[in-house]
Structure 1
Amino acid sequence: MQFTVRGVAVTVTPIILLTLALGLGIAGYGGYDYVQQTDAVNNAVAVETAVVETEISRSEGRRFYYRIRVEHTYEYQGDEYTSNQVFPGSAKPMYTVRDDAAQILEPYEPNTTTTAYVAPNSPSRGFLKRQRTLAPFKFIGFGSFIAVLTTLHAIGARNPGQNTGIGQTSEREMSHHDTVFGGQRNTLYRVSKRLLLVTPVSFLISLASVVALLLNSSTAAVQARLTDPIGFALLTAALSVLGFIAGLILYGSWSFTEYRRLREQIPDQRPPSPFRHPSRLITILYTRDGLDAYGRRVKLTGFVFTVTVLFVGIIGFVLVTAA
């Protein structure tokens, strides 16, 4: 189904509706959990609880993280309850560093007593730390991201990047796109391609070296310095990641100039720029077939910038959570 709102085309399909509902549902769950956390923190009653056991569990798969659990028993208004909650709410925080998880559990030794907090409207979910967490915001952010992308995909024309009728433009007319950041665009292209090819290999070799050195280490605790083999391997891995991101940025910059060169070849009235109208860019990124050279360049450029932002976001998240 397609209709217009103030001259803007809006397309609604079952997939768009389901995806939008999914994104809003995830964001709504995060918002609801944050409200529950706030109510629990504000209205909780302190009681004495006995710690039964503590546990740090590690996730399976390549991307691992740690969760904590503290089983404790307490009485509230004459009834006995057992809870595994450390923080209020149902969205449990995750830790990328095991020491951070262990630090949270440090005050809670098994067979000792401590203070728990019980919300009167949910007495079976007593928790140990009277503070809110950032866990709900992960759901809010992820769900909102899905909802925004889906909304942008539904708005606007259905065929951007197709049938643009690209013609020929003289080299003189396109000469002002021959340089990027003061350097030749062809040189930029070669450097970016080499970085994107070399840095993943360097990262894998460095990671394998770290694993091999750790397995051959005679001590359980290893302190890495830059002058040690492990420290040097870790530094190489970190530089490889930064080099890969630099390669993405350079390639994205080159690809953007290529997009501008192609855009100048459109003979008739040029369509709105996808990089100034996000709905067109999202639609092109979703399109699988039918794109011409202009559309394919827009799709590749947008994809590279998206991956770059994703990598920077992951690194930022790891640095913030590890700090």
Structure 2
Amino acid sequence: MSSGEEPEKGRRSGMGLPVQPPKPGTAMSIFVLLVGFAIVGVGAYSYVSDSAALADRAQVTAEVTELGVEEVEASRGRDAYVPVVTFQYQYEGTSYTSDRLYPGRSQPQYEDRATAQSKLSEFSVGQRVTAYVDPDMPGQAFLEDSRSGLPTGAVLVGVVVALVGGIGLYQARAQARVRDLLS
């Protein structure tokens, strides 16, 4: 073969294997499967870190200093609303301010302002509340002694996405076997 010629279709590589590019259905299915696994991993990591914060927490008295609803950009360009309760507290002689309702970085988002506002109804400025402090991160206290539900939701969504990718991969491989048998 000269330098400008294309290799013949079906020509074998030096290892005796046919040279074929990956099928688009297979590549996409593998990508979806990997995305699903990544989502499961993020959810599991968040769940474990929330569990650690809940297990090693210390209770302190805090004072609510500010209430509000923050507008954030959510998926697909839509807006979401996050209830924000800012509070001050002391832990081991040092003063801190936090605005977390739940442990961890993930805070719940709501589709409308009214729902987010309703989550603030149990709080008022100047109110004394119990806050929970993770001794490893004393500046990130939280008010709700439970998980937000976001890590569990991420794990479930990741499992569904991984299943879709796995089913797609299975179907793509089955179709490839049928094509190979027919050719």
TM-score (norm 1): 0.41
Question: What is the one-letter code of the residue matched to 1:48?
Answer: T
Out of 65, 77, 92, the position equivalent to 1:52 is 65
* Cα drift, residue 74 of structure 1: 1.7
Match of 2:168 in 1: 153
Number of aligned residue pairs: 153
Change (3 A) 1:161 1:81: farther
| RMSD over aligned Cα atoms | 3.1
* SS across alignment from 2:175: coil
Match of 1:131 in 2: 146
* Cα drift, residue 106 of structure 1: 2.0
In structure 2, C-alpha distance between the alignment counterparts of 1:75 and 1:13, rounded to whole Å: 56
2:31–2:165: 8 Å Cα contact kept in structure 1?
no
* Cα drift, residue 159 of structure 1: 4.9
In structure 1, C-alpha distance between the alignment counterparts of 2:88 and 2:39, rounded to whole Å: 32
Unaligned runs of 5+ in 1: 1-10, 163-323
In structure 2, C-alpha distance between the alignment counterparts of 1:38 and 1:108, rounded to whole Å: 25
* SS across alignment from 1:86: coil
Question: What is the one-letter code of the residue matched to 1:53?
Answer: E
In structure 2, C-alpha distance between the alignment counterparts of 1:123 and 1:59, rounded to whole Å: 26
* Cα drift, residue 15 of structure 1: 5.1
Q: Percent identity?
A: 28
* Cα drift, residue 114 of structure 1: 1.9
In structure 2, C-alpha distance between the alignment counterparts of 1:14 and 1:153, rounded to whole Å: 10
Match of 2:131 in 1: 116
2:100–2:141: 8 Å Cα contact kept in structure 1?
yes
* SS across alignment from 1:157: helix
User: Are positions 1:37 and 2:53 aligned together?
Assistant: no
More helix by share: 1
In structure 2, C-alpha distance between the alignment counterparts of 1:161 and 1:70, rounded to whole Å: 60
More strand by share: 2
In structure 1, C-alpha distance between the alignment counterparts of 2:94 and 2:42, rounded to whole Å: 30
* SS across alignment from 2:174: coil
In structure 2, C-alpha distance between the alignment counterparts of 1:50 and 1:38, rounded to whole Å: 25
Out of 103, 106, 110, the position equivalent to 2:118 is 103
Q: Relative contact order (C-alpha < 8 Å, sep 6+): which is higher?
A: 2
Question: What is the one-letter code of the residue matched to 1:147?
Answer: A
Change (3 A) 1:139 1:80: same
* Cα drift, residue 86 of structure 1: 0.6
* Cα drift, residue 161 of structure 1: 10
Unaligned runs of 5+ in 2: 1-22
* Cα drift, residue 47 of structure 1: 0.7
* Cα drift, residue 116 of structure 1: 0.7
* Cα deviation 1:277-310 (Å, max 9, x = unaligned): xxxxxxxxxxxxxxxxxxxxxxxxxxxxxxxxxx
